[in-house]
Structure 1
Amino acid sequence: MKDKLHFTSLLIACMLFVGCNPKSDVYKATDFGAIANGKTVNTEAIQRAIDACNEGGGGTVILDKGDYVSGTLLLKDKVTLHIAEDAQLIGSSNPLDYQSIDTFTDATGQKRGNCLIGAKNATNIAVTGKGTIDGNGEAFLAKNIKAKIKELNLAQTEGFGSNRPFLLRFVNSSQIKVQDVHLRQPAAWTCHFYQSNDILVENVSIYSHAHKNNDGIDLDSSYDAIIKNCDINTGDDAICIKTTSPKPTYNVQVSDCKLRSDWGSIKFGTESMGDMYNIDITNCQIYDTKGGGIKVLSVDGANIHDVTIDGIQMDRVDMPIFIRLGERLRTYRNAEKQEVGSITDVIIKNVKGSARALDSSRVNPPSGILMTGTPNHKIGKILLENIELELPGGGIEEHTMATVAEDETRYPEFSFFTVLPAYGLYGRHIENLQTNNVVFTLNGTDKRESQVLVDTHTTLSE
Structure 2
Amino acid sequence: MRKIVSTIFTTTLFITSLTALAQMNKQKAAYSFSNLPVIAKTSFKADTFNIIKYGAKNDGITLNSKAINDAIIACNKKGGGVVLVPKGMWLTGPIELKSNVNLHLQKNAILQFTKDFNQYPLVASNWEGLPQMRNQSPLWSTNQTNIAITGFGIIDGAGEVWRMVKKDKLTESQWSKLIASGGVLSDDKKSWYPSEAFFKATKMKNAGEITPDKTPEFYNSIKTFLRPNLLVFTSCKTILLEGVTFQNSPAWNLHPLMCEDLTVRNVYVKNPWYAQNGDGIDLESCKNVLIEGSTFDVGDDGICIKSGRDAAGRKRGMPTENVIIRNSTVYHAHGGFVIGSEMSGGAKNIFVSDCSFIGTDIGLRFKTTRGRGGVVEKIFVKNINMKDIVGEAILFDMYYAAVDPVPLKGEKRDAPKVELLPVTEETPIFRDFHITDVVCDGASKAVFIRGLPELSISNITLDNLNIAANEGIDIQEAKNVSLNNVNLIVANSNPLINIQNGNVINFKNINYNAAQLLFRIAGDRNSAIKTSGLDATKAKSKTEFLAGADEKTLQINK
TM-score interval (norm. to shorter): 0.7 to 0.9
Give the Cα–Cα distance (whole angstroms) in 2 for the partners of residues 32 and 109 of structure 1.
35
In the TM superposition, structure 1's runs of 4+ consecutive aligned residues that sit over 6 Å from their partners are 107-110, 147-150
Give the Cα–Cα distance (whole angstroms) in 2 for the partners of residues 100 and 76 of structure 1.
20
**CA contact 1:69–1:90 (8 Å) conserved in 2:** yes
Q: For residue 234 of structure 1, what is the aligned residue in structure 2?
A: 298
Say if 2:422 is the partner of 1:339: no
Q: For residue 368 of structure 1, what is the aligned residue in structure 2?
A: 446
Say if 2:51 is the partner of 1:29: yes
Identity within the alignment, %: 27
Q: 1:441 aligns with which of 484, 489, 494?
A: 489
Q: 2:225 aligns with which of 158, 162, 169?
A: 162
CA pair 286-96 structure 1, distance change in 2 beyond 3 A: same
CA offsets 1:429-449 (integer angstroms, 9 cap, x no match): 11200110122102x4x2511
Q: 1:282 aligns with which of 353, 356, 359?
A: 353
Give the Cα–Cα distance (whole angstroms) in 2 for the partners of residues 86 and 327 of structure 1.
41
**CA contact 2:60–2:91 (8 Å) conserved in 1:** yes
Q: For residue 295 of structure 1, what is the aligned residue in structure 2?
A: 365
Say if 2:146 is the partner of 1:132: no
Say if 2:477 is the partner of 1:383: no
User: How many residue pairs align between the two structures?
Assistant: 387
**CA contact 2:124–2:131 (8 Å) conserved in 1:** no
Q: For residue 310 of structure 1, what is the aligned residue in structure 2?
A: 382
Question: Alignment RMSD, CA only?
Answer: 2.7
Q: For residue 186 of structure 1, what is the aligned residue in structure 2?
A: 249
Deviation at 1:298, TM superposition (A): 3.5
CA pair 281-453 structure 1, distance change in 2 beyond 3 A: same
Structure 1 unaligned regions, length at least 5 = 1-22, 330-336, 357-365, 393-422
**CA contact 1:106–1:112 (8 Å) conserved in 2:** no
Matches within 5 A, 1:102-117: 102-106=124-128, 111-112=133-134, 114-117=136-139
Q: For residue 319 of structure 1, what is the aligned residue in structure 2?
A: 392
CA pair 121-128 structure 1, distance change in 2 beyond 3 A: same
Give the Cα–Cα distance (whole angstroms) in 2 for the partners of residues 432 and 36 of structure 1.
60
Q: 1:459 aligns with which of 506, 510, 513?
A: 506
Give the Cα–Cα distance (whole angstroms) in 2 for the partners of residues 301 and 88 of structure 1.
42
CA offsets 1:168-207 (integer angstroms, 9 cap, x no match): 1100101010000011111111100100010000000111
**CA contact 1:202–1:227 (8 Å) conserved in 2:** yes
Deviation at 1:272, TM superposition (A): 1.4
Q: For residue 211 of structure 1, what is the aligned residue in structure 2?
A: 275
Name the SS of the counterpart of 1:320 in structure 2: strand
Give the Cα–Cα distance (whole angstroms) in 2 for the partners of residues 181 and 447 of structure 1.
45
CA offsets 1:339-365 (integer angstroms, 9 cap, x no match): 312111101110001234xxxxxxxxx
Deviation at 1:79, TM superposition (A): 0.7
CA offsets 1:56-96 (integer angstroms, 9 cap, x no match): 11111010011111111110110110011121101100112
Q: 1:429 aligns with which of 469, 477, 491?
A: 477
Deviation at 1:114, TM superposition (A): 2.8
CA pair 248-101 structure 1, distance change in 2 beyond 3 A: farther
CA pair 229-101 structure 1, distance change in 2 beyond 3 A: farther
CA offsets 1:106-158 (integer angstroms, 9 cap, x no match): 379985463111100000000000011011111224676859989xxxx9972
Name the SS of the counterpart of 1:115 in structure 2: coil
Give the Cα–Cα distance (whole angstroms) in 2 for the partners of residues 45 and 116 of structure 1.
15
Q: Which amino acid aligns with 2:324?
A: Q
Q: For residue 335 of structure 2, what is the aligned residue in structure 1?
A: 264
Q: 2:70 aligns with which of 48, 51, 54?
A: 48
CA offsets 1:259-304 (integer angstroms, 9 cap, x no match): 02341111000111111000000000001112x1111123311211
Give the Cα–Cα distance (whole angstroms) in 1 for the partners of residues 493 and 235 of structure 2.
53
Name the SS of the counterpart of 1:49 in structure 2: helix
CA pair 118-99 structure 1, distance change in 2 beyond 3 A: farther
**CA contact 1:426–1:453 (8 Å) conserved in 2:** yes
Q: Which amino acid aligns with 2:289?
A: A
CA pair 219-113 structure 1, distance change in 2 beyond 3 A: farther
Give the Cα–Cα distance (whole angstroms) in 1 for the partners of residues 153 and 182 of structure 2.
28
**CA contact 2:472–2:493 (8 Å) conserved in 1:** no
**CA contact 1:327–1:340 (8 Å) conserved in 2:** no
Give the Cα–Cα distance (whole angstroms) in 1 for the partners of residues 458 and 152 of structure 2.
44
Q: For residue 90 of structure 2, what is the aligned residue in structure 1?
A: 68
Q: Which amino acid aligns with 2:395?
A: F
Deviation at 1:328, TM superposition (A): 8.6
CA pair 95-391 structure 1, distance change in 2 beyond 3 A: same
Name the SS of the counterpart of 2:323 in structure 1: strand
**CA contact 1:169–1:191 (8 Å) conserved in 2:** yes
CA pair 91-327 structure 1, distance change in 2 beyond 3 A: closer
Q: Which amino acid aligns with 2:156?
A: D
Give the Cα–Cα distance (whole angstroms) in 2 for the partners of residues 165 and 62 of structure 1.
25
Give the Cα–Cα distance (whole angstroms) in 2 for the partners of residues 424 and 149 of structure 1.
45
Give the Cα–Cα distance (whole angstroms) in 2 for the partners of residues 349 and 241 of structure 1.
20
**CA contact 2:275–2:300 (8 Å) conserved in 1:** no
With structure 1 as the length reference, what TM-score do the two structures score?
A: 0.78
Q: 2:265 aligns with which of 202, 206, 230?
A: 202
Q: Which amino acid aligns with 1:241?
A: I
Deviation at 1:211, TM superposition (A): 3.1
Give the Cα–Cα distance (whole angstroms) in 2 for the partners of residues 24 and 177 of structure 1.
16
Deviation at 1:460, TM superposition (A): 4.5
CA pair 179-100 structure 1, distance change in 2 beyond 3 A: farther
CA pair 305-145 structure 1, distance change in 2 beyond 3 A: farther
Structure 2 unaligned regions, length at least 5 = 1-44, 165-178, 185-193, 197-216, 403-423, 510-558
Higher relative contact order (CA 8 A, sep 6+): 2
**Bigger shift: 100-109 or 240-249?**
100-109
CA pair 131-43 structure 1, distance change in 2 beyond 3 A: same
**CA contact 2:91–2:113 (8 Å) conserved in 1:** yes
